[in-house]
Amino acid sequence: MAEYDYDVLVIGAGPGGYVAAIRAAQLGLKTACAESRETLGGTCLNVGCIPSKAMLHASEYFDAASNGAMADMGIEVSPKLNLDKMHAQRRDAVEGLTKGVAFLFKKNKVDWKNGHATFQDAHTVKVGDETVTAKNIIIATGSSVTPLPGVEVDNDGQVVVDSTGALELASVPKKMVVIGGGVIGLELGSVWRRLGAEVTVVEYLDALLPGMDGDVRKEAGKIFKKQGMELRLSTKVTGCTVKGKTATLTLEPAAGGDSEELEADCVLVSIGRRPNTDGLGLENIGLETNQRGQIEIDHDFRTKVDGVWAIGDVVPGPMLAHKAEDEGIACAENIAGQTGIVNHDLIPGVVYTWPEFAGVGLTQEEAIEKLGDKSKVKVGKFPMMANSRAKTNHEPEGFVKVIAEAETDRVLGVWAIASVAGTMIAQATQAMEFGATSEDIAYTCHAHPTHSEAIKEAAMAVQGKPIHV
C-alpha cells in the first residue's frame, strides 16, 4: 500500500497551481489539486487577467468607434453601449477557460478536491471534510487585494470597489476615482473611461506605473492625460465616507499638507495585492512568512519545510500569471527529479491599455545603478511615429527603447509603448534569454511592415545608426 494518497498535492488552482498539477501528472506523478473556489483557474481566469482583458478588448472597440479613430479610417458609426452584453461576453470567456482547465485536469488525471485546504502536518492537509496525504505539497494559494485603511470596499454596493467589483459594475459611473496608478488601476480605469466615465487617478508616487522604466513612466503620464484621465500624482487618500451612491474621499499631498475632498460615484481601490496564507495552517508545519507576508523559497521552489514547495503570487517576485505558470512547471519538474529553472531576471511585464506598455529586464535607472556609471550603459530609442505600420494604422504614440551594456553590447533591458507592445516584448525576452547583443537584434531580419521593426531600429539606434529617423 502506498505511504501517501498522492505523490503531489497542489493547494490552489490558479495559473501557478493548475499548471504545476498538470505538469506533475504529465511526469507520471499521482496528483491532486485543492481549490476552494467553485471554478478552477484562480484569480487570473476568474477575476484577473482574463475578465479584465475581455473588458479592455470590448471597450477598445467602443472607444475607437466613439472617439473618431474609426471615422479617421472612413468608417462612420455611432456606437450604442449594451453593457449587459459586454459583461455577458466577459463571463462567457471566463466560463470557457475555467471549464477548459477542468477538462485538462480530467484528461491528465489530476483529482480536483474542492474545498479550503489547511495543513495538519507537512504531509497531511484537510480539504473541507476530507483528509489528504501527499509526499510533496505545493503551496500555490496566490494573492488577494490589499485593503486601504479608511477606505472600505463593498463590491455589492458598487460605490467603493476593488478590481473584482470594478469588473462587474452594472452601469457606467459618471465619475470614477482610481486609487493607485499601477497596472490594474490603469487597465480598469481605461475600461470605464472608454465607456464614458470621467476618471481621476490618485497616485502616491510622482509618476504612474511604479517599477517600469523612467521614460516609459513619464510617457504614460502624458498618454493617459491626453486620453482624458485626470492624474493626481504625489497625492494620498486618507479617508472615505459613503452616503447613498456617493463617496467622498479625503486627499492630501503625499509629503503632507492641506487636505481636500473629492466626490465620486465609484471608487476603485487598486493599491496592490498581498499573498494568501490565512487559514492555511502554516503554523502547523512551522513555516513563517516574511515581512511582506510571502513564503520564502530557494532556487528550486522548496520552502524550509521538507516536502513543502511554494510558487506564484504567494512567493517573492512580480505577481504575474506567466511567472506563476513557469514556476509551476519548474517546481513539478524538480519534484520529479528533473532540473526545473525559471530565469527571474527575464519576466516580461505588460500593461494592456491603449497603447500597451511592456518591458523586460532592467530599466535604464537599474542598469546605471548595477553597472555603477552612466557611461557604461548605451541606449537606443526609436519612436513608433517613424514605424511605417504604426503610422499607417494611426498609432503614432510610443517608442521602443533598447538598453545595452556599453562594453559588451549585451542587451540588459527592452521597453516598448505601442499598440501591440505586449506581443512585441516576447521577441526581446527570447533574444535576451539567448544572451543577445543589440547588434544581434539589429542584424535579425524583421518582416515589413510590422510594429516589431521598431525593436530592430531601436537596437540599431544603440549603435547610433537607425535607418528611419
Residue number, 36 or 444, with CB nearest to ligand FAD: 36
Select the residue interacting with ligand FAD from 4, 26, 27, 37 (CB under 6 A). Answer: 37
Select the residue interacting with ligand FAD from 42, 180, 189, 355 (CB under 6 A). Answer: 42
Please give the Cα distance from 289 to 295 (Å, whole number). Answer: 5
Q: Which helix (H) or strand (E) holds 68?
A: none
Q: Is 448 a catalytic residue?
A: yes
Contact 17, 312 (CB under 8 A): yes
**CB of residue 51 vs ligand FAD: minimum separation in angstroms?**
7
Which phi-psi region, left, alpha or beta, contains residue 367 (left: φ > 0; alpha: ψ -120 to 50)? alpha
**Catalytic, out of 299, 448, 451, 468:** 448
Within residues 335-374, the interface with ligand FAD by CB under 6 A covers 352
Residue number, 349 or 383, with CB nearest to ligand FAD: 349
Select the residue interacting with ligand FAD from 43, 59, 387, 429 (CB under 6 A). Answer: 43
Q: Which residue is nearest to ligand FAD (CB)?
A: 142
User: Does residue 453 belong to the site contacting ligand FAD (CB under 6 A)?
Assistant: no
Within residues 432-451, the interface with ligand FAD by CB under 6 A covers none
Residue number, 203 or 325, with CB nearest to ligand FAD: 325
Segments of 96-191 assigned E as strands? 111-114, 117-121, 124-127, 130-139, 143-145, 160-161, 175-179
The Cα-based distances of 338 to 20, 29, 377 in angstroms read 14, 13, 37
Check the CA dihedral 369-373-377-380 and report its sign: positive
Grid coordinates representing 330 are 519548474
Within residues 51-70, the interface with ligand FAD by CB under 6 A covers 52
User: Does residue 320 belong to the site contacting ligand FAD (CB under 6 A)?
Assistant: yes
Within residues 367-396, the interface with ligand FAD by CB under 6 A covers none
Contact 314, 295 (CB under 8 A): yes
**CB of residue 195 vs ligand FAD: minimum separation in angstroms?**
17
User: Does residue 14 belong to the site contacting ligand FAD (CB under 6 A)?
Assistant: yes
Select the residue interacting with ligand FAD from 5, 6, 12, 438 (CB under 6 A). Answer: 12
Contact 200, 178 (CB under 8 A): yes
Q: What angle do CA 60, 63, 69 make, to 5 degrees?
A: 105
Select the residue interacting with ligand FAD from 274, 302, 322, 468 (CB under 6 A). Answer: 322
Please give the Cα distance from 416 to 437 (Å, whole number). Answer: 18
User: Mask 219-258, x = binds ligand FAD (CB under 6 A)?
Assistant: ----------------------------------------
Q: Mapped to the 3 state alphabet, what secondary structure does 320-370 carry?
A: CHHHHHHHHHHHHHHHCCCCCCCCCCCCCEEECCCCEEEEEECCHHHHHHH
User: What number of residues does the chain have?
Assistant: 469
Binding site for ligand FAD (CB under 6 A): 11-17, 34-37, 42-44, 48-49, 52, 116-117, 140-143, 163, 184, 276, 279-280, 312-313, 319-322, 324, 352
What positions carry a catalytic annotation? Answer: 448
